[in-house]
Each structure stands twice: as C-alpha cells, then as structure tokens.
C-alpha cells in the first residue's frame, strides 16, 4: 500500500510540473548584442574599406579589453556579439567603451530573433518590458533589409506593436511624439529588436587622418583641441613643456591626468616632456618683458617641430582661440607660427570660452584642468604683453639670446611618458 501511495505522489508531482511548464512563459535566455551604426563613412567611395578597417580595429581593441566578443560588419552596421557568459555579463562595460569610438553616429543594445514573425513577436514581448517600464508612449518602426521577408515594414510594425500593447498594458501608441521608438530590423542573418539608441561619438575612425602633435598644457583648451582632432580621425602624440623648479610635480601630474582622460578615446598617448627652464631665465634676463610670451611660444614651436619630425607627426595642434588672450591675437599667432616648420592646426580657433568649457566637461577633462597649478606659460608672465606684435621687432628681441644653443640644450632634456587607457 505504501509503495502504491509513493508512486501516486510522484505521478502527481510530474503532472504538476508539466502543467506549470506548459502555462509559464518560456524562460529561454534572450541573446543580446550591440549594434553600432556608421556615420560619415557611408559617404566614402572606393576607399571606404580603408575607413572600415580602421573602425573595426578600434572596436576589436576595446572588445578585447573587456572579454571575448565576435565583431563583424554588414550594411553600415558593426555587430558586437558576446561569445561566452563572462562577455554577456560585461556587455554594459563594452557598451560604454563603444560609445567613445569615433566613426559611429548611433549605438544600441538589441535582442536577436529568428526571421519569423512568431520569433520576432515572442522575443519582443520578453525583451521589451524591462526596457519600456519607465515610458508611457511608444512607436514601433520596422525596416526590412531582407526583402524576402514575407511581411512589409508597415505590416511587421503593426503586428509587433499590437503584441507589445497586449503584453505591456500601461503603454499607448503615439505616432508623432512617442517617448521611445521600438525598432525591428530584419537583416540577412537575423532580426533585431531594440528600444531607443544612444548617440555615438561621431567623427571619423581614429587613425584615418594621419598623426599630429598636440601642445598639451595644463589648461582647459589644449585637451579639447586634442579631442577634436582625434574625432576627425587623427592619431595624437603630445608634447608638454615644464619649468622645474618654477613649476611643480603636481602640475606635471595634472598634465598626465589630462592625457589619461584622452586615452578613453584613443587607447594610449605618448607625452614628450621638454624643459624650458633655462630658456625662460635667458629671456627674462636679456629681452624686453613685453615680448616674453611671444618669444617663449616661438621656442615652443621650434622644439615641437623637432619632436614632431622625430615621431612622424605631420602637423602641430594647439588649443588657441582667436582673441582669447594676448598671445592669441591674429598677429601674435602669425608671429609664433613663423617659428614652426610644419603646419599648425587650431581646432578651437572659432570657439569662445563657454563653448570650449562645454566640450571639456563632456569629455571629462574640465575638473582636472581647473586644478590650481602653474604651468610654464604662467612663469614670468609680462605685465603688458604685446597684442599686435611686428615680426621684425620680435626677431630682434630673439637675437639677444643664443637661440640655437638654448634649443640644443632643451632638446637634451626631453623624455617620454606613455599613458595607457584603464577600464
């Protein structure tokens, strides 16, 4: 009797769990990947593949830092797919990293579904409730890159939108001013469902526009200038001028912190450090005070040109903004650029301080830039600097010191620090 009773109990338990399995939703884990959408690369012609290669190289570099991911591209989109459980867990970390890759205009996380209406709807109603819980209105849009899919885009969006309304009752449809847009993309291999996307970093892939040398001070402007050139595809090295003991170790460390912020966009930065101490002392002792800043900047241009030549940099980059300070008037910049042997790029030239500060805050350098440590440009600052200098008079003042000897001496002081990105 006892044996029959035990058998009956087990039969009941089995029936119960089979019933629960039939009525409960499928708990199969939804596969989630990252989609990164091209920007300007789309406009490129026969050399588009070169830009794509640069872009993929940067994506793979960042993915490797985080975990094991498969990276592919098709139809102006890069697909980043986690390969193992650890990669799935770190998907948010990688998502943040890919948001700083120049070349993408939009980035989003998407659920992967089979290319059937049933699979798309099933995946959507399981994946979207968490994504849409804080919204009241939505709109569903569908796009068929695969024209073999049996439903048209309007038909697909209607079917999926209806299923979403049924599954998430607090939502209503707003065709013209939705709080969020649900997108269904039917592509070659799979269908992808996502709700909302983030703005990408924009610009051009890093490395697609050659290499430049940034004159990196401890101020607000120069890190912004470096970021702006990176955004246009330029690989950037830095040169920093110090004036020990007139400047401090804290000022030096501040500059390295700024370089570290920039590595979030480029992976690593080389910072070439050169001492200007003796040059500044000689200018102070031998030249008219009014010309001091202009003469110092000419020495910077000469030394920067030498660093650039040694490191295969084709241009110099500065954070100068027209009229911002005495040394950044049009005439003053012409006088200083005369000392450079390669072109000087000034990406901030037409921006005012407020605009530069806004970018500085956005890229995370502002709080470091405003730390109150003197740099070499604030040492022996003239009381009345020349704002409309004449080149001939500047050269006459410059001739009062041993230019070649001071350059050679400063050149021997240079050393290199390489800053790597840290997650």
Q: How many CA atoms lie within 13 A of 212 on its CB side?
A: 26
- pTM of this prediction? 0.88
Q: What average pLDDT does the structure give for the chain? A: 91
Closest to 278 in 3D by CA, of 239, 243, 241? 243
Closest to 337 in 3D by CA, of 374, 372, 371, 294? 294
Q: Spell out the domain ranges in the chain.
A: 32-199, 211-420
**pLDDT of res. 28:** 65
**pLDDT of res. 372:** 85
* Nearest-10 crossing angle of helices 292-310, 403-411: 50
Look up residue 205 and give its two tokens. 């892939």
CATH superfamily of domain region 211-420: HUPs (3.40.50.620)
**pLDDT of res. 71:** 95
CATH of 32-199, one of 3.30.2130.30, 2.30.30.40, 2.60.40.10, 3.40.50.300: 3.30.2130.30
pLDDT at 2 over 60: no
* 32-199 matches 211-420 in fold: no
Mean pLDDT of the region 171-181? 94
* Nearest-10 crossing angle of helices 403-411, 277-286: 160
Predicted confidence (pLDDT) per residue in 90-116, tens digit = 999 999 999 999 999 999 999 999 999
**pLDDT of res. 242:** 93
**pLDDT of res. 5:** 54
**pLDDT of res. 3:** 53
Predicted confidence (pLDDT) per residue in 244-268, tens digit = 998 889 999 999 999 999 999 999 9
């Amino acid at each position: 009797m006892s044996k029959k009773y035990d058998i009956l109990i087990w039969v009941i338990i089995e029936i119960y769990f089979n019933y629960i399995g039939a009525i409960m939703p499928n708990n199969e884990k939804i596969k989630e990947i990252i989609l990164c959408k091209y920007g300007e690369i789309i406009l490129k012609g026969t050399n588009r593949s070169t830009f794509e290669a640069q872009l993929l190289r940067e994506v793979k570099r960042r993915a490797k830092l985080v975990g094991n991911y498969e990276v592919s591209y098709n139809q102006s989109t890069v697909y980043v797919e986690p390969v193992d459980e650890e990669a799935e867990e770190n998907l948010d970390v990688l998502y943040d990293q890919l948001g700083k890759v120049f070349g993408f205009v939009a980035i989003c996380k998407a659920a992967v579904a089979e290319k059937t209406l049933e699979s798309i709807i099933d995946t959507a109603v399981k994946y979207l409730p968490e994504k849409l819980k804080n919204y009241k209105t939505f709109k569903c849009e569908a796009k068929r890159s695969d024209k073999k899919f049996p439903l048209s885009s309007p038909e697909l969006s209607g079917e999926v939108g209806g299923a979403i309304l049924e599954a998430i009752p607090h939502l209503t449809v707003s065709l013209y001013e939705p709080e969020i847009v649900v997108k269904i993309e039917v592509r070659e291999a799979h269908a992808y469902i996502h709700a909302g996307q983030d703005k990408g970093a924009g610009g051009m892939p890093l490395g697609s526009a050659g290499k430049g040398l940034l004159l990196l001070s401890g101020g607000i402007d120069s890190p912004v200038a470096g970021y702006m050139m990176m955004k246009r595809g330029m690989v950037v090295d830095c040169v920093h001028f110090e004036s020990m003991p007139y400047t401090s170790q804290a000022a030096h460390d501040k500059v390295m912190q700024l370089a570290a912020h920039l590595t979030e966009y480029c992976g690593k930065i080389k910072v070439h450090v050169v001492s200007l101490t003796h040059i500044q002392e000689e200018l102070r002792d031998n030249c008219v005070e009014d010309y001091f800043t202009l003469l110092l900047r000419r020495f910077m241009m000469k030394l920067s040109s030498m660093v650039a030549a040694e490191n295969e940099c084709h241009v110099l980059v500065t954070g100068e903004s027209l009229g911002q300070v005495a040394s950044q008037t049009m005439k003053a910049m012409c006088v200083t650029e005369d000392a450079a042997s390669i072109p000087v790029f000034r990406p901030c030239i037409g921006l005012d301080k407020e605009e530069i500060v806004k970018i500085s805050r956005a890229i995370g350098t502002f709080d470091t830039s405003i730390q109150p440590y003197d740099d070499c440009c604030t040492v022996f600052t003239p009381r009345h600097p020349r704002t409309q200098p004449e080149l001939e008079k500047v050269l006459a003042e410059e001739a009062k010191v041993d230019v070649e000897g001071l350059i050679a001496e400063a050149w021997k002081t240079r050393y290199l620090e390489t800053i790597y990105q840290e997650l």
